[in-house]
């Protein structure tokens, strides 16, 4: 192999190391991006045990027992949005609205 005189020996090894580091870094970034994309849906799903008919029913019962006021109106609005999301198969969105509705039932 002939070397270019102006190029110090070992430079190609440095370039190979940099390329290897960049490849590993891009792999880590890709894994992190997937984790951050999945995490909100999982958090919403597990926040209240998931968006299910039973959880919707429990929350609706709590809302019915609330005194009339702004908190009850907010909770009713959120439970309606949760039901709509459940019917459309958007479980993460449903869980988020269900969680907000439940929080509104505890607001004073």
Structural domain of 98: 11-106
In a domain, 5, yes or no: no
| Structure confidence by residue, pLDDT tens digits, 15-37 | 777 778 888 888 778 787 776 66
Structure tokens at 52: 């299910």
Instruction: Measure CA of the first residue to CA of the last residue in the chain; give whole Å.
Output: 80
Can you give the pTM of this predicted structure?
0.54
In a domain, 69, yes or no: yes
**pLDDT for position 15:** 75
In a domain, 71, yes or no: yes
- In the chain, the number of structural domains is 1
Cα separation, 108 vs 98, whole angstroms: 18
Q: Which residues contact 39 (CB under 8 A, 6 or more apart)?
A: none
| Structure confidence by residue, pLDDT tens digits, 35-51 | 666 655 555 444 445 78
In a domain, 6, yes or no: no
Where is pLDDT greater, at 56 or 19? Answer: 56
In a domain, 70, yes or no: yes
**pLDDT for position 73:** 92
């Amino acid at each position: 192999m002939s070397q270019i005189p102006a190029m110090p020996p070992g430079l190609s090894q440095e370039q190979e190391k940099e390329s290897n580091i960049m490849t590993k870094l891009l792999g880590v970034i890709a894994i992190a991006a997937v984790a951050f994309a999945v995490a909100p849906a999982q958090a919403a799903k597990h926040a209240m045990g998931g968006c299910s008919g039973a959880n919707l029913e429990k929350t609706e019962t709590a809302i019915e027992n609330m005194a009339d006021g702004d908190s009850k109106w907010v909770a009713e609005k959120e439970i309606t949005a949760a039901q709509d999301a459940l019917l459309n198969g958007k479980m993460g969105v449903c869980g988020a609205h269900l969680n907000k509705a439940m929080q509104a039932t505890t607001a004073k």
